[in-house]
Structure 1
Amino acid sequence: MPSYAVLLRGVNLGPKRKVPMARLRELLSGMGFDDVRTLLQSGNAVLRASATTPAALAEAIEQALEAEFGMRIGVVVRTGPELDAVIAAHPLADVADNGSRMMALFLSADPDPAALAAFDPVELDPDRVRIGDRVVYQWCPDGVLKAPDIATPMARKWGVTVTGRNWNTVTKLAVMLAD
């Protein structure tokens, strides 16, 4: 049975959009997924599911979250091999020496080529942003809050869900998927 990393967008960042991880585990287990585990309080889960596509899995989880919590929460899903490929392709590894300041911005889908041509996030920070396969890498040496916000315009202009994780979380999720 394949394993998947489930990444919820924009939960538990303040007093609104709360999704307790215990309830998330219960919800996902109740959907029939196996070996459901969460990481941190920021909407990260790993699970095993019958073979499906990450997009179909994300849509099913988004619908269940809306029914359970009464709000639309974007979900991005990656398989273990997809997450391993993100790690292996890390284009800024030679300079990104702090995992809490290195971001992987996961995209729900490939942006339309015309939308990508119209907005290139690399132009906002050419030395610290690189585009990968359904991921944008962003090195934030002065901290995430001081780095240019590229996620909001990418989501709006590319029409995709974008959710970011720091490199420490990305590598922990990969280890959890490998277990």
Structure 2
Amino acid sequence: MTKTYAALLRGINVGGRAKVPMAELRTLLTGLGYGEVRTHLQSGNAFFTAVKGDEQALAAKISAAIEQHFGFPVDCLVRDHTYLRNVADACPFPAADLEPKQLHVTYLSRQPDPERYAGLDQAPFLPEEFRLGDRCVYLYAPDGLGRSKLGETLSRPKLTKGMIATTRNWNTVTKLVELTHG
């Protein structure tokens, strides 16, 4: 039985570094034996079908193939439709009332330790806010991620140490759900 997955690549095609052309990525994923391969945007969102498997193993296989083909490492997370739908549905902020550039999800390779975030006083960052979710962090940044001081703080190694973390805006979050739906 096959299942549709999203591969979320971290830090590619940003500022002229870690260039991964989407056509080459599609060819690479097809060469790994995945089916119905497609991409969305240039920032590292790929979709494919595979025999139902372990997301971490799929991500490791894709990361290794990218490094071998392109010559540089790229962190990758693989998530299925059910997980992506649950993350979107569990959003603690009123997504329907916000502009998509104001709401972001940082997908994480494992469940964040609440203790790491407990000492982070959100008051100085207001009206920006964050909430922890299932292997993710939700960020409300009314002026967008590029101007977000809280977003910058949340990406510091102290909070993300030992995890792969990659952020998507709300438009992409909903597109991930749509494009993994069987």
CA distance in structure 1 between the partners assigned to 2:51 and 2:92 by the alignment: 32
The reply on whether 1:123 has 2:84 as its aligned counterpart is no
Residues 93 and 133 of structure 1: CA distance in aligned 2, closer, same or farther (over 3 Å):
same
CA distance in structure 2 between the partners assigned to 1:135 and 1:173 by the alignment: 14
The reply on whether 1:90 has 2:91 as its aligned counterpart is yes
The alignment partner of 1:49 has SS state of strand
Percent identity of equivalent pairs: 38
Residues 23 and 171 of structure 1: CA distance in aligned 2, closer, same or farther (over 3 Å):
same
The alignment partner of 2:12 has SS state of coil
What is the RMSD of the two structures over their aligned residues, measured on CA atoms? 2.0
Assess if the C-alpha contact under 8 Å between 2:117 and 2:159 holds in 1.
Answer: no
Query: Which residues in structure 2 correspond to 1:100-111 (within 5 Å)?
Result: 100-111=101-112
Residue in structure 2 matched with residue 162 of structure 1 by the alignment: 165
Superposed displacement of residue 173, structure 1: 1.5
Residue in structure 2 matched with residue 45 of structure 1 by the alignment: 46
Query: Which residues in structure 2 correspond to 1:44-83 (within 5 Å)?
Result: 44-83=45-84
Assess if the C-alpha contact under 8 Å between 2:22 and 2:42 holds in 1.
Answer: yes
Q: TM-score, normalised by structure 1?
A: 0.90
Query: Unmatched 5+ residue regions in structure 1?
Result: none
Query: Unmatched 5+ residue regions in structure 2?
Result: none
How many positions carry a matched residue from both structures? 176
CA distance in structure 2 between the partners assigned to 1:84 and 1:54 by the alignment: 16
CA distance in structure 2 between the partners assigned to 1:147 and 1:117 by the alignment: 22
Residues 94 and 7 of structure 1: CA distance in aligned 2, closer, same or farther (over 3 Å):
closer
The reply on whether 1:23 has 2:21 as its aligned counterpart is no
Assess if the C-alpha contact under 8 Å between 2:12 and 2:19 holds in 1.
Answer: yes
Q: TM-score, normalised by structure 2?
A: 0.89
